[in-house]
């Protein structure tokens, strides 16, 4: 009898065992905070410092309590609104600019591209002050637009989309041009459907980035009604003298959309990361 491929010697080489072990340990380190978050959210206040992963008396009381708090739902919806709006905006504008840079010859194209790309080198912390001053002068402080405007179009998204649009054969675009479509129609009807993997990756990264964004929303908002979830949760901690089980419950609920996005779209995330040659 011959070995099945799964049991062949090639598959149980020592090198492979070491790799699997390292990957397992790495995975365990990464997932343990998540497990403790869910575990703590199922504990009562007096069990919080009991570090057992499976609570002695698991309870959903924290979830009921958090969801019953009107502010939490408001922050949840704020985060959802901000993340979805910014994602749609990025998919639209980054693609439009990326397409223009990839498929049109015009004077200064290279300069524009380099200028956009160079903004990637400036850390967010350095941009916050000009953003704040701008928001202040234009009356955007403490508003949804104030939270969203810095991310409505990004250099990263533009770069990603440009790289992908360059792979769309010019003949596709020229054929549509001969068929009578205007440039906007060509972009929308021909080019965009051909870059859906990149568009999906961009949408996922943008959504996740905005869903978890903390620093800028914290600075620009003062009204509690405008807080996004991460900002709201942090205020939760301050005013409630650090009730870890409640914070973990809030965080667990806040994590759900990102988990769902990851699970449903992980194929696109992996492909997007691979094709764009970037880290998430």
Partner 1 sequence: MSTIELTKLIKRYGKVEAVKGIDLAIADGEFVVFVGPSGCGKSTTLRMIAGLEEISGGTLRIGDEVVNEREPKQRNIAMVFQNYAIYPHMTVRQNIGFGLYTSKLDKAEKNRRIEEAGRILGLEALLDRRPAALSGGQRQRAAIGRAMVRNPSAFLFDEPLSNLDAQLRSQMRIEIKRLHQRLKTTTVYVTHDQVEAMTMADRIVVMRDGHILQVGTPTELYESPVDMFTARFIGSPSMNLLPGSKCSIMASTATEGDILIGVRPHDLIARATATDEKTDLSLTGTVTAVEPLGPETLVHLDIDGTAIIATAKDKFVPAVGSTLTCTAARGSLYLFDAKTEKLLSRS
Dihedrals phi, psi of 261, to nearest 5 degrees = -60, -45
Structure tokens at 47: 């069990």
How does 185-197 read in b/e, with b if 16+ C-beta sit within 10 Å?
Answer: ebbbebbbebbeb
Q: Radius of gyration (Cα) for the chain, nearest Å?
A: 24
Q: Whose Cβ is closer to partner 1: residue 72's or residue 187's?
A: 187
Using rule CB under 8 A, residue 109 touches partner 1: no
198 binds partner 1 (CB under 8 A): no
Q: Which of 120, 175, 259, 274 binds partner 1 (CB under 8 A)?
A: 175
Sole window of 12-20, 84-92, 138-146, 173-181 interacting with partner 1 (rule: CB under 8 A): 173-181
155-165 and 244-276 helices, crossing angle to 10°: 30
What mask of x and - would describe binding to partner 1 in positions 69 to 108, judged by CB under 8 A?
----------------------------------------
Residue 182, helix vs strand vs coil: coil
- Name the one range near partner 1 by CB under 8 A: 8-16, 124-132, 186-194, 235-243: 186-194
Contact 111, 117 (CB under 8 A): no
Q: Does 181 bind partner 1 (CB under 8 A)?
A: yes
Shortest distance, position 233 Cβ to partner 1, whole Å:
41
Q: Among 15-23, 170-178, 206-214, 243-251, which window interacts with partner 1 (CB under 8 A)?
A: 170-178
From 35-43, 131-139, 164-172, 265-273, span contacting partner 1 (CB under 8 A): 164-172
Residue 179 lies near partner 1 (rule: CB under 8 A):
yes
- CB closer to partner 1, 46 vs 105: 105
According to CB under 8 A, which one of 118, 119, 138, 174 is a site residue for partner 1?
Answer: 174
Q: What is the largest CA-CA distance in the chain?
A: 79
Contacts of 51 (CB under 8 A, 6+ apart): 36
Tell me the residue length of the chain: 280
Of the candidates 196, 210, 197, the one whose C-alpha atom is nearest the C-alpha of residue 258 is 210
Tell me which residues touch partner 1 (CB under 8 A): 169, 171-172, 174-182, 185, 189-190, 193-194
């Amino acid at each position: 009898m011959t070995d099945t491929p799964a049991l062949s010697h090639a598959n149980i080489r020592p090198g492979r065992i070491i790799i699997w072990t390292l990957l397992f340990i790495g995975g365990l380190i990464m997932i343990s905070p998540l497990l403790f978050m869910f575990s703590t959210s199922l504990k009562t206040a007096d069990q919080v410092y009991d570090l057992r992963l499976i609570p002695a008396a698991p309870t959903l009381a924290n979830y009921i309590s958090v969801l019953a708090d009107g502010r939490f739902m408001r922050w949840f919806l704020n985060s959802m609104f901000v993340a979805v709006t910014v994602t749609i905006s990025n998919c639209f504008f980054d693609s439009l600019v990326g397409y223009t840079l990839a498929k049109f010859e015009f004077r200064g194209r290279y300069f524009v591209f380099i200028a956009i790309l160079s903004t990637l080198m400036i850390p967010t912390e350095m941009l916050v002050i000009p953003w704040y001053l701008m928001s202040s002068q234009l009356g955007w402080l403490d508003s949804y637009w104030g939270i969203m405007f810095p991310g409505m179009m990004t250099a990263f998204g533009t770069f990603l989309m440009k790289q992908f649009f360059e792979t769309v054969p010019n003949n596709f675009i020229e054929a549509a041009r001969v068929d009578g479509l205007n440039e906007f129609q060509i972009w929308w009807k021909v080019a965009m459907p051909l870059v859906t993997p990149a568009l999906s990756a961009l949408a996922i990264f943008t959504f996740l980035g905005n869903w978890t964004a903390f620093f800028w929303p914290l600075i620009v908002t003062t009204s509690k009604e405008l807080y996004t979830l991460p900002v709201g949760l942090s205020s939760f901690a301050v005013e409630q003298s650090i009730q870890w089980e409640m914070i973990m419950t809030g965080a667990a609920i806040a994590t759900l959309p990102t988990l769902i996005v990851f699970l449903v779209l992980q194929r696109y995330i992996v492909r997007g990361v691979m094709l764009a040659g970037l880290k998430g």
